[in-house]
Structure 1
Amino acid sequence: MSTTLLEPTAPPRQEIRQPRRNPFLPWLLLSATMVILGLLTGYPVLRLVVMSFQEYERAQLMGQPAEWVGLDNYATVLTDVEGFWTVLLRSFVLMVVLVVITMVLGMLVALLMIRIGKGLRLLVSIGLLLAWAMPSLSATTVWGWVFDTQYGVVNNVLTALTGDRWFGYSWLLNPLSFFVILTCIVVWGAVPFVAFTLYAGLTQVPEEVMEAAQLDGASAFQRFRLIQLPYVRGIITVLVVLSMIWDLKLFTQVFVLQDIGGDRELTNTIGVYIYQQGMAQGHYGLASAIGVIFVIVMLAIAYPYVRRTLREEEL
């Protein structure tokens, strides 16, 4: 008797229907957040733009209507060479110095954390966290005490070592030493974030690649330049852009040091300059125009970061 083997037949293929997506659902879920952001961010920005076209002085705070002056405030700001442009140039130079020093020290600390042992790495991390967690106001006040004219540690140590030459010396009154102290304060508080971020990126470099390069005779600097640096190039770009934005809008450190003993006219940065034009002198329309120009500058700086982020999302 012959038997016939029947091949199993595959079940009929059924089409998997994907549920229809509601195009309005994402907007509905984001509506509450968008309303809150619109109230907290959108309205102040809109108010800033409106005031920049008005002659808004202290009298308008008492209820008097503001007069529309068109682009007069912008013309006044952009033609103020000794005021606005000097402060803006000073802010940009300070920003470049701060970003370069912060990135170099942050990279060195990150490389150090990779090479040292676990115990020392823990101590370094704790020290960085303490410096990072200290508020800017408290840190600036402490540094002001360190460089105090009469009771500062620096003046007392220098006086004990060299005589009475440094007794009563005002570090903050001299613009150059003022910005040196300001650089120490800002870099001291910014290095931890850069170091931790770069350390997290450097730990993702494959050890096999580093060991192979070392066996091939590559020096430590060559391994850093040809292997480690390309791995963290994207992180460095983001850190540079963020540092530029943070350092360009410095306010607390500059304002507190000026209040301790600095010359405001010679040490103003753009953030303090806007505050003085508005709150101190009462020219709110003029300060708003400076603020709008400053926002445009900040958007131009942030554009590469946003463009890079969008490109990474498309990949």
Structure 2
Amino acid sequence: MSAAETTTAKVPPMRPSKAPGAGAGTGGAGNRGKQRRTGGAALPWGLLAPCLLILLLVLGYPLVRLVTLSFQKFGQPQLWGFQEAESVGFANFTKILGDAEFWAVVVRTVVFAVGSVVLTMVLGMLIALLLQRVSGWVKTLINIALVASWGMPIIVATAIFKWLFDTDYGVLNWLLSRLPGVDMIGHNWFASGPQGLAVIMLLVVWGAVPFVVISLSAGLTQVPKELEEAARLDGAGSWGVFRYVTLPVLKPLLVMLTTLSVIWDMGVFPQVFVMRNGHPEAEFQLLTTYSYDKAFVVNDYGGGSAIALVTVVLLLGVVAVYMRQMLRIGEVE
């Protein structure tokens, strides 16, 4: 063995040594990762904080005040400061829950809301489906008309409907009287509660359909064309494609739109109030107008607050159903 070989064999192999501070660097990277994760979790709350604060101020205080008034005897003497507000416990709720008129208003409100929601969703879906079959310029014109009607102030829309259904000068009575054997001249649509509420329901549906149509039109663009073509190849007709392909894809959107429509339609106030010139008759009373009358016409602010709180509880039930449906959809996905 040569000297060179002997020297090479005796020299141990050099192991790569860690750079100074390498371990500290790794720990520092982990700490920075933890800091980033902590900062990332706090960032959304920081961005939402101004909005949450405004909501707390705008909605929190009125809600707390509503709950407080619903447990008090609060009328004009208390409003003007002549007497102190007196706590009455659940007396306001016992009074309204034992009133047959209140339950009649609840039933009327539920029927009105269900009818409005069904008409809104059906018409909205039909129009959205029809928009998928028209040319581009026709779709643009219809969308412009929908946005214009949606953006119209409620007071203006209500005034137009009052003119359309006017007893003496209503366009609808004149048009219907042009049909053979139909005489609607001088017909009063508000002589009975069901007819008048049907007119108000049409007004509510007219104002709600544009939002539903635009939302569903956007949702229909997300339905995979491949699934529709596969269903047609399997022999499914138009109804089969809609039922087994389109509806499942649109289900989350439909649940959201239906829930929002129920909340909005149960909270209808200006349409009824303006249509009846600020004094809705008993057969036109809904929960919102009934609460308003109790508070500001009868000056029973405690009873009106109790009715409003019951309405809030009913709407929270609708929201709970919505959240449950959305959680089920999320679990399936």
The answer as to 2:289 corresponding to 1:272 is yes
Identity of aligned residues (%): 40
User: 1:34-82: CA deviations, max 9, x gaps?
Assistant: 333222111111111111111100121111311111111010010001x
- Relative to 1, partners in 2 of residues 1:155 and 1:211: Cα closer, same or farther, differing over 3 Å? same
The answer as to 2:168 corresponding to 1:134 is no
Q: How is 1:248-259 mapped onto 2 (pairs within 5 angstroms)?
A: 248-259=266-277
Structure 1: stretches of 5+ with no match in the other structure: 1-8
User: 1:132-158: CA deviations, max 9, x gaps?
Assistant: 111111111100011111111123334
SS in 1 for 2:276: helix
Contact 2:252 2:329 survives alignment (8 Å): no
SS in 2 for 1:195: helix
The answer as to 2:212 corresponding to 1:194 is yes
The CA distance in 1 between the partners of 2:236 and 2:47, in whole Å, is: 54
The CA distance in 2 between the partners of 1:208 and 1:24, in whole Å, is: 42
Match of 1:5 in 2: none
User: 1:237-283: CA deviations, max 9, x gaps?
Assistant: 111111111111110111111128x8611111111111111111111
Structure 2: stretches of 5+ with no match in the other structure: 1-15
**Residue 90 of structure 1: which of 97, 108, 116 is its match?**
108
The CA distance in 2 between the partners of 1:127 and 1:306, in whole Å, is: 33
- Relative to 1, partners in 2 of residues 1:159 and 1:227: Cα closer, same or farther, differing over 3 Å? closer
SS in 2 for 1:250: coil
Match of 1:290 in 2: 307
The CA distance in 2 between the partners of 1:112 and 1:158, in whole Å, is: 27
**Residue 170 of structure 2: which of 123, 138, 152 is its match?**
152
The answer as to 2:200 corresponding to 1:182 is yes
Match of 1:104 in 2: 122
SS in 1 for 2:277: helix
Give the RMSD, CA atoms, in angstroms: 3.0
Match of 2:322 in 1: 305
| Deviation of the 1:24 alpha carbon | 6.8
User: 1:143-202: CA deviations, max 9, x gaps?
Assistant: 001111111112333445569943322112221221221121111111111111111111
- TM-score, structure 2 length as denominator? 0.84
- TM-score, structure 1 length as denominator? 0.88
The CA distance in 2 between the partners of 1:227 and 1:72, in whole Å, is: 53
The CA distance in 2 between the partners of 1:96 and 1:69, in whole Å, is: 35
Contact 2:173 2:185 survives alignment (8 Å): yes
Match of 2:93 in 1: 74
The CA distance in 2 between the partners of 1:243 and 1:109, in whole Å, is: 17
Contact 2:128 2:214 survives alignment (8 Å): yes
